[in-house]
Amino acid sequence: MAEASKTVHSAIVTYTSMISLLTLCPPFVILLWYSMVHADGSILQTFEYLKQHGLQGLKDIWPTPSLTAWKIIAVFGAFEAFLQLALPGKRVEGPISPTGHIPVYKANGLQAYAVTLITYVGLWWFGIFDPAIVYDHLGEIFSALVVGSLIFCVFLYLKGHIAPSSTDSGSSGNVIIDFYWGMELYPRIGKSFDIKVFTNCRFGMMSWAVLAVTYCIKQYEMNGRVADSMLVNTVLMLVYITKFFWWEAGYWCTMDIAHDRAGFYICWGCLVWVPSVYTSPGMYLVNHPVHLGTKLAVSILVVGLLCIYINYDCDRQRQEFRRTNGKCLIWGKAPSKIVASYTTSKGETKTSLLLTSGWWGLARHFHYAPEILAAFCWSVPALFNHFLPYFYVVFLTILLVDRAKRDDDRCSSKYKKYWKTYCDKVPYRILPGIY
């Protein structure tokens, strides 16, 4: 795991972040749900409640995972696993790993996304299943996910020791680091079922879309209409998630899949944090419909769609540049680039092309800026009565700033002097002229 160890934080940061995730994140997920659904979205109201009742108060509001919650999770997970295996898709190769392993995927995420939403809305439309049940049992579902995902991460740890799927696995010699950062880069069940694709994409991202639709339907059933604020929020999130599944094969080349191992950090986050925190602006709007008016609603929608497009176009430029080995046009011109050589773990010398024009000439991780702005656009329909609808934006900013630094550190270690040349040519990390 030497290669992985170079790309993550120091031991003290790892221990601190793991203890924080284990001890603070589970209650935070429950408190976020409670505040949005039962405390008017108010941090102060929840704080006053806990101040009065202490730990017993937290225990009282913490839902017990019900049979209904477990059934909803099991059916959803099984359905997504079935679609991942059964739907046809183009064969896609991921980036070659440090040990020379090339993961192979079946790119059928967009099909799975379409089938999932059509099935979910269809079940509601024909009166077979009411998505409002999911909202009504949301706290129990999150509580079940907190426990179930922890057990799943223990399974990943044991699998990494007993039955690793490829040569891209191994132990750091520290149980805590192995559990937190993961043992395997590409864990699979059998030859075809990729675990990280399931946790990150087919459960995490898909649950985000399903819950966004759920909140819309719940508000409609409560009020007989869907507020324009909820429509803007839902449309922007669904467009962003559609973009994700359209580009899913590109995601398989990112840090989450190609560099971060399957452990507590990635998998617990995708299984619990994504459905709870990423959907939280819509969760708030269910009980707090805001009337924006046509002009404001359309303005927010247009800005949000533009941000999502720029985020997509950043990734498209880089993919096209890599696919053509630099023989393409970026903004109508031949791209500027740096030819960087590096040495693999096996001692082989290879080369990579570093794009220094287009969006990638503005900043080394410019694509994070429109992503953060898009998140702000689907949060701002809640207006500014409470802070909590903006927690996701704050969290995303911290996450992406940290990821940009980690990626820079990894690239610096890999490309050495060539990365310094790249940083001299593209000096800003995320925001041109600022950071």
Same domain, 140 and 230: yes
Last residue of a domain, one of 290, 311, 329: 290
Same domain, 258 and 303: no
38, containing H or E segment: helix 25-38
Among residues 309, 107, 303, 133, the alpha carbon closest in space to that of 211 is found at 133
Quote the distance between the C-alpha of residue 190 and its chain's center.
Answer: 25
**Beta-ladder partners of 169:** 184
Q: Do 17 and 9 form a contact (C-beta atoms < 8 A)?
A: yes
Same domain, 326 and 265: no
Unique residue bearing structure tokens 């603070």 = 24
Could you tell me the residue range of the domain that residue 205 belongs to? 1-290
Unique residue bearing structure tokens 């890999």 = 414
User: Residue 268, Cβ neighbours under 10 Å: how many?
Assistant: 23
Same domain, 283 and 307: no
Same domain, 224 and 326: no
Same domain, 151 and 275: yes
Residue type for 286, please? V
What pLDDT tens digit does each residue of the chain (435 aa) get?
334 444 455 667 777 877 877 789 899 999 999 999 999 999 999 999 999 999 999 999 999 999 999 999 999 999 999 999 999 999 999 888 877 788 999 999 999 999 999 999 999 999 999 999 999 999 999 999 999 999 999 999 999 989 998 888 888 888 888 898 899 999 999 988 999 999 999 999 999 999 999 999 999 999 999 999 999 999 999 999 999 999 998 899 888 888 889 998 899 999 999 999 999 999 999 999 999 999 999 999 999 999 999 999 999 999 889 889 888 989 989 999 998 888 776 777 888 889 999 999 999 999 999 999 999 999 999 999 999 999 999 999 999 998 899 889 888 888 889 999 999 999 999 999 888
Same domain, 272 and 394: no
Q: Do 250 and 319 form a contact (C-beta atoms < 8 A)?
A: yes
Q: What share of the chain is helix, strand, coil (3-state, %, to 5)?
A: 65, 5, 25
Whole-angstrom distance between the N-terminal and C-terminal Cα of the chain?
32
Same domain, 107 and 254: yes
Instruction: Tally the residues of the chain.
Output: 435
Same domain, 2 and 134: yes
Same domain, 36 and 105: yes
The count of structural domains within the chain is: 2
Answer positive or negative: Cα dihedral of 211, 213, 218, 219. Answer: positive
Q: Model confidence over 183-214: pLDDT tens digits?
A: 999 999 998 899 999 999 999 999 999 999 99
CA distances to 103, 156, 195, 244, 308 from 251, rounded to whole Å, are 13, 21, 15, 8, 15
Same domain, 121 and 3: yes
Quote the distance between the C-alpha of residue 315 and its chain's center.
Answer: 16
Last residue of a domain, one of 257, 290, 323: 290
Answer positive or negative: Cα dihedral of 413, 415, 421, 423. Answer: negative
Last residue of a domain, one of 262, 290, 318: 290
Pairing of strands 193-194, 337-343: unpaired
Same domain, 244 and 300: no
DSSP assignments along 205-263, one per residue = IHHHHHHHHHHHHHHHHHHSS--HHHHHHHHHHHHHHHHHHHTHHHHTTSHHHHTS-SS
